[in-house]
Structure 1
Amino acid sequence: MALFVIALCQLMVVLDVTIVNIALPHIQTALDFSTESLSWVVSAYTLTFGGLLLLGGRTGDILGRKRVFVFGVALFGLASLLGGLAQNAGQLLAARALQGVGGAIASPTALALITTTFREGPARNRAFGVFAAVSAGGGAIGLLAGGVLVEWLDWRWILFVNVPIAVLVALLASRVLHESARRPGHFDLAGALLSTLGMVGLVYGFIRASQEGWRDGLTLGSFAAAAVLLTLFALNERRSPQPITPLHMFADRNRAGTYGIMLFLACSIFGMFFFLTLFVQNVLGFSPLRAGLAFLPVSVMVAVAAGFASQLLPRFGPKPFMITGATCCAVGLGWLTRIDVDSTYPENVLGPVVVFATGMGLQFVSLTLMALSNVADRESGAASGLLNTMQQVGGSLGLSILVTVFGTASRHEAAVRVPAFLETAGPAQRALFLRTGQLPKPWADQVLTSGVSTAFVAASLFTVAGAAIAVFVIQVRPSDLARLQGNHTPTPVAGEKGR
């Protein structure tokens, strides 16, 4: 029951990253978003989620993980209710940001509760396998659930649906979870604020560049502000007696490599879901429900691959699964770069999605396990928070970069298509274009597809970078394999001896 509660919470938090993707066209129409600003519906959530995850993990360590877990779940449910009631773009983005705060409190605490509930060895490995499968497959489940809710009810129900789930999780958690020991310490609010604002500035700079170009003053100002804020964040973490980002966690080669792989993996995952959702609805003409069903193979393959990896990890270690998983993701995204307006789902989308999902499942289990190996119990919240931060911040940053690539490629394609359209268009079509600035569907599909396929090229490079880290950075020793089989006691972190 404890694992069920933890997994259900993680599913609720993770699927909310993607459940809105299916509804984006409907949200855009209802609340008057521009195409570029629509990515903020995703980023408002992931930025606060990723930026505050480290503080959320520390909060659980200091105040007790059970009570912090319940509070985070309750806040998430309240924010979901407010988002469903939003009447304009500002209200929705504020609610999405508040959802991110609740998720940042609940998610790292949930992962840390696994380390205090299950003993190290096979039992904890299986629990991590379940958690990793939920984390990896939750995105695809969110797309499916989003399709059902938008098709049968209304886009607002993609947010309302979280309310009963949050109530159930909070009630069950109070009964089946055990409270952890409270650790002395203080909250690094300055670090949390600087990191979050720095990432917001960085993401805004990329999205602004996709709209206004790289010479725009606000674009350059955003990048400059982000550089200053993130530099101050690094300095703060070095000087703080109890930073939200313990720098000694990066001293371990394997853990640092694990965080890097997760960062690049998330960059590709968020982009794949975002752009492929636009493609199947706008170009292939899928309904929201059919678009959600189109991603069902992702959930299946992630679960299969995660189960396979969790069973064989003790025998082969995590490195082969990291390399194979990253390679599969790169192959899948490389395959997707070949889509065009004549593509079909069975021939041009299903195969790449299955390959990519297999890579996701293989990587998530090994990355989750490696990130928390040899970490003292008192810092497991911070370690899990840092892993989740790499996922959410990587996703936000990667999506903003890919939106910039998409926007640049789309503008170049439009510069070619618009003159060709005007040469062949009749007076009525030409007048309509001059009034609205929108190309008719066949021409608009060409522009969208060109931008999407180019974005997939950039996304595939992210996964190649992750594979390179797995090959050249990760080093698994025989003692690590013994520990994965449950025959080794965790080594204290640096500085813990004598305390």
Structure 2
Amino acid sequence: MAENQSTSEQLSSAQKLALFVLLGAQFMLSVDFSILNVALPQMGEGVGLSLADLPWVASAYALPAAGFTLLFGRIADLFGRRRLFLTGIGLLTVASLLGGFATNAAMLLSARVLQGFANAIAIPAAMALLITTVADERARARVLGLNGALLSGGFTVGALVGGSLVSALDWRWAFWINVPVAVAIMVLTPLVIKESVRPAGVKLDVPGAVTVTAGLLALVYGVSMQSWIALVVGAVLIAAFWFVELRAKAPLVSLTLLNRPNIKWGNYGGIVAFVMASGVNFGLTLYMQDVLKLAPFTTGLVFGVPGLVAVVAGVVAGRMIGRYGYRNVLAVGLLVQGLTTVPLLLTGTSTTPSLAVIVPSLFLMYFGHVTAVVAYTVTATSGLEDSQQGLATGLATLAQQIAVTIGIPIFGALVATRTDVLDGVHFAMQVQVVVILVSVALIWIGLRDRVVPAGPAAAERQEPVPTAEAQQPAPVPVSRNVSENTV
């Protein structure tokens, strides 16, 4: 049995090459995102954007990235994932060149919009190609864990290297740095990745695509710009999308798919993980610079060094999922992320004692966060046919995009309920702990009785194996074991 297990997990040379290209693309995208965030002030100054208008640089990216992810994930299923992946990487190359040569705000914002579209096109297709390249679910869990490690590593590398790169050269290199890598990916992809099989006779649900895309755009805009009108419009459009899908012959998103416990609760876990991570990072940044008066570079080091543990978490998460099941790993990962927020409530106005609390807490928090992120990705993409993976990964990516977009405004609103910054940050973190504890309980209940037995011991207990709809990866042996994004 062990011999067959080992054989089933071996990857061919072609699979390894395909994974190398796809994982390299994911790493490039995370580095690019992180470096651009570091360079935001210099970008604004370089093209004449005021401090008040600087958030538009982020929003110009976030709107298409979140609004069109689900649509392009489904298009990848219907018209070819490799084709969409190459289109996204090609568009990213053009956008990066345009951004690097920007001489005014309009050019810069246009480049960011194109980058958002590029990510919405490329990421769901890349994730679907990753998942379908590896048929064995044990190996697939380890590949997703490795993907998570590289995404986390990319964010950390971008944060640590970005400031030095921009300072030594120019903010334009924050755009140009990924161009040669993107070109190499476009050259290699047709050589090592086969086109996905396109389902016959299935058409794109245009009414569903229009309503959900417009609804998501309105919701993301409403959160980013704090517009209640946009939020109401978005909610109405999402409700309209629901009714459209009930009557569609070939719906964009099958409501049966959305009702699967692993899809529903997996993506909910991802939203919680990313909302809380983006919120606490924002809160700690505000606290360290406003209360402790730390320089931005020092603040980056405080985040960057503990962020290295996220790479380790991504590597081992796939192994843990195979051994203990995605329900257990997702719940425990979120629990660790939440409970390690508690020591941060002890921070005060003294720098050294506060950093002595923050740094160890971040090490554990990032480990729990990335473990939960890998687990939610596996949860939300398990037990599906290959023809549905583009849609499933689109949903998982959408959960991340929306969570990152709303995390900071929510945390900021909680901080603003207190007149003192330190009190506000502490209050927001208290709310975070409560939300995570409640969410862990909901996920634990929602995924109950859907756990594949882990290892021979479970087989001896003759526990039932779940149906394909609820099945998760089989046990992963203790050999070498994938977003984002993660921290």
Report the TM-score range of the alignment, normalised by the length of the smaller protein.
Answer: 0.7 to 0.9
Residue 360 of structure 1: which of 369, 375, 385 is its match? 369
- For residues 309 and 189 of structure 1, what CA distance do their matches in structure 2 show? 38
Q: Which consecutive segments of 4 or more residues in structure 1 shift more than 6 A?
A: none
Residue identity matched to 1:470? I
Q: 2:337 — aligned with what?
A: 329
In the alignment, structure 2 segments of 5+ residues that lack a partner are: 1-16, 459-464, 471-487
Change (3 A) 1:37 1:112: same
- Given the superposition, is the C-alpha separation of residues 56 and 204 from structure 1 closer, same or farther in structure 2, using an over 3 Å criterion? closer
Confirm or deny that 1:349 pairs with 2:358.
yes
Cα distance, 1:349 vs structure 2: 2.5
In the alignment, does 2:60 pair up with 1:44?
A: yes
What is the alpha-carbon distance in structure 2 between the residues aligned to residue 93 and residue 404 of structure 1? 26
> Which residue of structure 2 aligns with residue 372 of structure 1?
381
State the secondary structure of the residue aligned to 2:68.
helix
Aligned counterparts of 1:468 and 1:37: Cα–Cα separation in 2: 41
- The 8 Å contact of residues 80 and 198 in structure 2, kept in 1 or not, is answered as yes
Q: Which sits farther off after the overlay, 111-120 or 151-160?
A: 151-160
The amino acid across from 1:380 in the alignment is Q
Find out whether 1:491 has 2:464 as its counterpart.
no
Q: Deviations 1:191-214 (Å, cap 9, x if unpaired)?
A: 4443343334334434544xxxxx
Is this contact kept in 2: 1:22–1:291, CA < 8 A? Answer: no
Among candidates 399, 405, 416, match of residue 396 of structure 1: 405
Which of 127, 152, 162 matches 2:168? 152
> Structure 2: how far apart are the matches of 1:180 and 1:454?
49
Cα shift at 1:305: 2.0
- Aligned-pair CA distance for 1:409: 4.1
> Using a 3 Å threshold, how does the CA distance of structure 1 residues 180 and 205 change in structure 2: closer, same or farther?
closer
Question: Closer, same or farther in 2 for the Cα pair 1:476/1:206, shift >3 Å?
Answer: same
Measured after TM superposition, the shift of residue 225 of structure 1 is 1.9
Match of 1:222 in 2: 230
Secondary structure class of the residue paired with 2:251 = coil
Which one is further off, 6-15 or 450-459? 450-459
| Alpha-carbon distance in structure 2 between the residues aligned to 1:118 and 1:453 | 44
Change in 2 beyond 3 A, CA 1:204/1:65: closer
* More displaced 10-residue stretch of structure 1: 461-470 or 67-76: 461-470
Contact 2:89 2:118 in 1 (8 A): yes
TM-superposed deviation, 1:478 = 5.4
TM score, norm. by length of structure 2: 0.81
- Name whichever of 32-41 and 177-186 sits farther off: 32-41
**Number of paired residues?**
445
For structure 1, which segment, 66-75 or 472-481, has the greater mean C-alpha deviation from structure 2 after superposition?
472-481
Q: Could you tell me the percent identity over the aligned residues?
A: 32
**SS of structure 2 residue aligned to 1:241:** coil
Q: Contact 1:68–1:105 (CA<8 Å) still a contact in 2?
A: yes
Instruction: Return the match for 2:93 from 77, 100, 108.
Output: 77
Letter in 2 for 1:375: L
**d(CA) in 2 for partners of 1:302, 1:383:** 24
Per the TM alignment, residue 329 of structure 1 is displaced from its structure 2 partner at its CA by 1.2
Question: Partner amino acid for 1:330?
Answer: G
Does residue 384 in structure 1 map to residue 393 in structure 2?
yes
Segment of structure 1 superposing worse, 226-235 or 131-140 = 131-140
Separation in structure 2 between the aligned mates of residue 38 and residue 139 of structure 1, nearest angstrom: 21
Distance (whole Å) between structure 2 residues aligned to residue 312 and residue 107 of structure 1: 25
What is the identity, as a one-letter code, of the residue corresponding to 1:466?
S
Amino acid at match of 1:146: G
Q: CA RMSD in A?
A: 3.1
Aligned to 2:22: 6
Q: Indicate conservation of the 8 Å contact 1:31/1:89, yes or no.
A: yes
1:373 partner SS = coil
Q: Could you list the runs of 5+ residues in structure 1 that have no partner in the other structure?
A: 210-218, 414-446, 494-499
Aligned equivalents of 1:90, 1:383: Cα separation in 2: 35
